[in-house]
Amino acid sequence: MWKCLDCKKQYSVKVGSIFEDSPLGLDKWLRAMWMIANDKNGVSLCEIAGGIGITQKSAWFMLHRIRDVMRTGTFGEVEVDETFIGGKARHMHAARRAKKIKGHGPGDRAIAFGMVERGGEVRTASVETGAQGP
């Protein structure tokens, strides 16, 4: 919660978005959006409800709001990419190259992450190696 300096009212990051007036947390909303965007054949109401652990009524509410935003294109266009920055295997000593499994994680290399909104600014960051998921 934040407080407006002018009118002294409290507000949250959900205000003015499809998440406003929803008791569901952003973690559930983001999981639902990921499920919808990554299923090439479409996702059903029951799949969303079961996958997130909410009722079908809540899943219906979320699905309609997300589909409306996707239809109108009010999300904006954001491009995201990541890469490993570091030495190539052919430049390594033969003993070290034998230990390295090609294509499985960063190894000694640094992880760079970047994203850009079309017509907006570029954001970049380096990612800690220990911050990787399973």
For the stretch 55-71, pLDDT in tens is 999 999 999 888 888 77
Residue 8 carries which side chain, given as an amino acid letter?
K
Dist. CA 101–CA 16, nearest whole Å: 47
pLDDT band at 113 (very low <50, low <70, confident <90, very high): confident
The 3-class SS string of 63-121 reads HHHHHHHHHHCCCCCEEEEEEEECCCHHHCCHHHHHHCCCCCCCCCCEEEEEEEECCCC
pTM above 0.95, yes or no: no
pLDDT in tens, 69-111: 877 766 667 677 788 787 666 667 777 666 665 555 666 678 8
Sign of the torsion angle spanned by Cα atoms 102, 105, 108, 112? positive
Percent of the chain with pLDDT over 70: 72
